[in-house]
Amino acid sequence: MAIKKGDFIEVDYIGKLLDSNEIFDLTKEEDAKKNKVHNPRAKYGSKKVCVGEGQLVNGLDEAFIGKDLDKIYNIELTPEKAFGKKDAKLMKIVPTNIFTKQNIRPMPGLQVNIDNSIGTIKTVSGGRTIVDFNHPLAGRDVKYEFKITKIIKDDKEKIETLINPITNMLNITPEIEVKEGNAKIKTHMKDLFEKTFKEKITKLIPSVKKVAFEEISAKV
Q: How many structural domains is the chain composed of? A: 3
pLDDT for 91 equals 94
Give the rounded percent of residues in the chain with a pLDDT score beyond 90.
86
128/168 Cα distance (integer angstroms): 35
> Do 123 and 18 lie in a common domain?
no
Least confident of 63-72, 99-108, 183-192: 99-108
177 band by pLDDT with thresholds 50, 70 and 90: very high
Least confident of 16-20, 23-27, 105-109, 114-118: 114-118
Instruction: Please tell me the chain's helix, strand, coil percentages from 3-state DSSP, rounded to the nearest 5.
Output: 25, 35, 40
Using one digit for the tens of pLDDT, what is the confidence trace for 114-169? 888 889 999 998 899 999 999 999 999 999 999 999 999 999 999 999 999 899 88
> Do 68 and 105 lie in a common domain?
no
46/51 Cα distance (integer angstroms): 15
66/202 Cα distance (integer angstroms): 24
> Do 54 and 105 lie in a common domain?
no
- What pTM value is reported for the model? 0.86
pLDDT for 202 equals 97
pLDDT for 10 equals 98
Range of the domain at 19: 1-84+139-152
Q: Is the pLDDT of residue 203 over 90?
A: yes
> Do 73 and 93 lie in a common domain?
no
63 band by pLDDT with thresholds 50, 70 and 90: very high
> Do 183 and 103 lie in a common domain?
no
pLDDT for 117 equals 86
pLDDT for 142 equals 98
> Do 198 and 146 lie in a common domain?
no
220/104 Cα distance (integer angstroms): 33
User: Of the residues 152, 186, 207, which one is the last residue of a structural domain?
Assistant: 152
45/13 Cα distance (integer angstroms): 10
pLDDT for 115 equals 83
> Do 62 and 164 lie in a common domain?
no
219 band by pLDDT with thresholds 50, 70 and 90: low
* CATH code, domain carrying 102: 2.40.10.330
Rounded to 5 degrees, what angle do the CA atoms 44, 176, 186 make? Answer: 110
pLDDT for 218 equals 57
> Do 193 and 143 lie in a common domain?
no
pLDDT for 28 equals 97
Mean model confidence pLDDT for the chain: 94
